[in-house]
Structure 1
Amino acid sequence: MQPPAPAPGSDDQDVGLRTRLVDVGVELVTREGIQALTLREIARRAGVSHGAPRRYFPTHLSLLSAIARRGFADLADRAAAALDGATGDTSPRAQLHTLARTYLDFALTHRGMYELMFRHDLLESNQLGLRETSLPLFDVLVGLVTRARPQSDVAPAVAAGALWGNLHGIAQLWGWGSLTLATGAHDVEPLLCAALDAHLGPTAR
């Protein structure tokens, strides 16, 4: 039996507690990983009863989706700042390198959040429009791929998807230590450059 929902408070209190629950979830996944994201633990750290989160998030999945949305927003902000702050070479390929490096750095330094963001059940359920939250950054990738490969017979979205899949695989395998073991590389940069060459063609020498 579910515990009774807390009595309604003011709209400001509702928004404040909802935000607090997500804040706590973000902190938990960042520090302790995705396994720490139970409703009970989030409620405990937020200082509310273990049944309180269900008033704002009817299911555990909806709360996890709200936390994942923060991750996508953070990644998008980092990508925009990196692209806006880039100096020197501003060609589409150079911007793709900047975007890809930002993506990999986020994945490797925010492993718990990154794992949560791409959980199949969250994306499949599309709670809180989670898929739509992730698409704008993919659109940026498609736009840059379009400009970097204007004569390609491959649809830009398909080429961008293949590059994204490559980057996602690098992030996962690097995080597990597999790529270091297999290649002897101690930084993802050579792998990133190889991925760009594979999908865009080698840079002019």
Structure 2
Amino acid sequence: MAEEKPLRDRLIDAGVELVLSEGTSAVGLREIARRAGVSHGAPRRYFPTHHALLSAIAKRGFEDLAARFAAVTQPSAPPREQLRALGRAYVDHALEHRGMFELMFRHDLLDSERHDPSDRPRLREATLPVFGLLVDLVAHERPGPAPAVTAAALWSNLHGIAQLWAWGSLPLVVGDTDGRQLDRLLTAALDAHLGPVST
């Protein structure tokens, strides 16, 4: 018989399921406890605040995104091709997991250092390596000053594509009903921030 997960992991699992099915606004300690089959006070032993719980849930989202990035990364490929693959993985993750995507980047809600006084790993330990990968690839593709700024601008562009696509705005303006324009938008974002591919 499989060993039962620790209660903290079960509570996070319930939170992840709730975020994916109903969105961030539905996440509460009482509902998490109900879904995990424990008393409504049990989550407080592991998550002293609502923010701490949201941070733990968001960390799962970043772990999933990092796994997606690892699955599509071909270290032998040119940096620009790696960036294209990561950009598509990012947008796909956003479109497939909208509730989680919305939570992951709400650092106004997820300031785990301020809201969780424990010594558990901080959310930034999951988020910054994902961004660092973009910075490294941008630095290789476009050597020069401030690769982090260029990577942040590219990330903002990718995030906007994902959000506006999910809301239906981009499909409307580009006349797309089946997602065929997504790759063209990703190429345009890369060209805008890294310069066009030299021939």
TM range (shorter): 0.7 to 0.9
1:104 aligns with 2:104: no
Please tell me whether the aligned partners of residues 78 and 102 of structure 1 are also in contact (alpha carbons under 8 angstroms): yes
| 1:19 aligned onto 2:18 | no
After superposition, residues 84-99 of structure 1 pair within 5 angstroms as: 84=74, 90-99=77-86
Unaligned runs of 5+ in 1: 1-11
The reply to whether residue 37 of structure 1 matches residue 55 of structure 2 is no
Count of residues paired in the alignment: 188
If each structure's helix is expressed as a fraction of its own residues, which one has the higher value? 1
1:176 corresponds to which of 158, 167, 176: 167
Deviation at 1:125, TM superposition (A): 4.5
1:68 is matched by which residue type in structure 2? A
- Alpha-carbon offset, residue 36 of structure 1: 2.1
| Structure 1 residue 39: Cα displacement | 1.2
Counterpart of 1:83, as a letter, is T
Q: Which residue of 2 aligns with 1:198?
A: 192
Residues 119-158 of structure 1, C-alpha deviations (whole Å, 9 max, x = no match): 13234444551123200011110110011112x4x41111
Query: What is the RMSD of the two structures over their aligned residues, measured on CA atoms?
Result: 2.0
Partner-residue secondary structure (3-state), 1:121: coil
The 3-state SS of whatever aligns with 1:120 is coil
Tell me how far apart the structure 2 counterparts of residues 132 and 110 of structure 1 sit (CA, whole Å): 21
Q: Is the 8 A contact 2:94 2:162 kept in 1?
A: yes
Distance 1:199 1:185 in 2: 24
Tell me whether 1:49 sits opposite 2:45 in the alignment: no
Structure 2 Cα separation of the partners of residues 139 and 23 of structure 1: 27
Kept after mapping to 1: 8 A contact 2:10/2:36: yes
SS at match of 1:107: helix
Secondary structure of residue in 2 paired with 1:122: coil
Contact 1:82 1:98 in 2 (8 A): yes
CA distance in 2, matches of 1:160, 1:105: 19
Aligned to 1:159: 150
Pair 1:62 & 2:52 matched: yes
Contact 1:149 1:200 in 2 (8 A): yes
The alignment's TM-score, normalised by the length of structure 2, stands at 0.87
Aligned equivalents of 2:96 and 2:15: distance in 1?
17
CA distance in 2, matches of 1:125, 1:95: 31
